[in-house]
Chains A and B, each alone.
Chain A
Amino acid sequence: KNEVEQSPQNLTAQEGEFITINCSYSVGISALHWLQQHPGGGIVSLFMLSSGKKKHGRLIATINIQEKHSSLHITASHPRDSAVYICAVRDDKIIFGKGTRLHILP
């Protein structure tokens, strides 16, 4: 069993829909990161969380430390949100999920 599990693996939605991507982990962590990777490889760090909830524009990230679970939400999704979203947890080392490939249709 992977130490970091993301779901779904792939998601296709219509523009405007509310999107949720989930991340569950089985190890102790000091922080959890959500990353965005566009075709071509560039990675952007979206959030770093150790507790609670963070919001940036249309993106919201939450974490429940007791349940070892985090969610990334995208409100009013747009085709430019199409990318791979990667959850990563770290304590001494960083462990990545396999990513969720999101495709938003216009």
Chain B
Amino acid sequence: KAGVTQTPRYLIKTRGQQVTLSCSPISGHRSVSWYQQTPGQGLQFLFEYFSETQRNKGNFPGRFSGRQFSNSRSEMNVSTLELGDSALYLCASSLVVRYNEQFFGPGTRLTVL
């Protein structure tokens, strides 16, 4: 069974631009979560989707948004990029929310110049 895939793996953008990251979960998994990892803050929860509905959201500004499609694939969007948005963005999938093991993708490393 294929693992969680994320595209692109690396991305360089400039301040003010917007970016869209994609996550394809393991086949059959209906929950996708997104995380941001930086050297200063570590791993932080962005949002969680299940069956196309956002179930939870972390403490990030409205510039960060996401969605999930009917095939469980998910995208996250960051608008008006800031230097501090440079990070590794990870997604993880699980069968359902809360009580299941999560399987992580390799991440997208975003650099904002």
A residues in contact (CB < 8 Å) with B: 30-31, 33, 35, 41-45, 48, 50, 86, 88, 90-99
Establish whether residues B98 and A95, one from each chain, have CB atoms under 8 Å apart when the complex forms.
no
Given the complex, which residues of A lie within 8 Å of B88, measured CB to CB? 41
B residues in contact (CB < 8 Å) with A: 33, 37, 42-45, 48, 56, 58, 88, 90, 92, 98-104, 106-107, 109
Cα(A88)–Cα(B94), bound, Å: 15
Knowing A92-B56, A94-B33, the reply to whether A45 touches B45 (Cβ < 8 A) is: no
Knowing A41-B88, A41-B109, the reply to whether A90 touches B104 (Cβ < 8 A) is: no
- Shortest Cβ gap from A95 to chain B (Å): 7
A-B pairs with CB below 8 Å: how many? Answer: 48
The 9 A-B residue pairs whose C-beta atoms are closest, nearest first, are A96-B43, A43-B104, A41-B107, A94-B45, A98-B42, A48-B101, A45-B101, A93-B56, A41-B88
Establish whether residues B42 and A30, one from each chain, have CB atoms under 8 Å apart when the complex forms.
no
- Across the interface, B106 reaches (CB within 8 A) one of A41, A50, A90, A94, namely A41
Cα(A98)–Cα(B44), bound, Å: 10
- Across the interface, B104 reaches (CB within 8 A) one of A42, A97, A98, namely A42
Given the complex, which residues of B lie within 8 Å of A88, measured CB to CB? 43
The residue among B42, B43, B56, B109 with the most chain A CB atoms within 10 A of its own CB is B43
Given the complex, which residues of A lie within 8 Å of B106, measured CB to CB? 41-42
Cα(A4)–Cα(B88), bound, Å: 21
Given the complex, which residues of B lie within 8 Å of A48, measured CB to CB? 100-101
Establish whether residues B44 and A96, one from each chain, have CB atoms under 8 Å apart when the complex forms.
yes
Of all chain A residues, the one with the shortest Cβ separation from B33 is A94
Cα(A41)–Cα(B56), bound, Å: 24
Offer 20 A-B interface pairs, CB within 8 angstroms, sorted by A. Answer: A31-B98, A31-B99, A33-B101, A41-B37, A41-B88, A41-B90, A41-B106, A41-B107, A41-B109, A42-B106, A42-B107, A43-B104, A44-B104, A45-B103, A86-B42, A91-B98, A93-B48, A96-B42, A96-B43, A99-B42
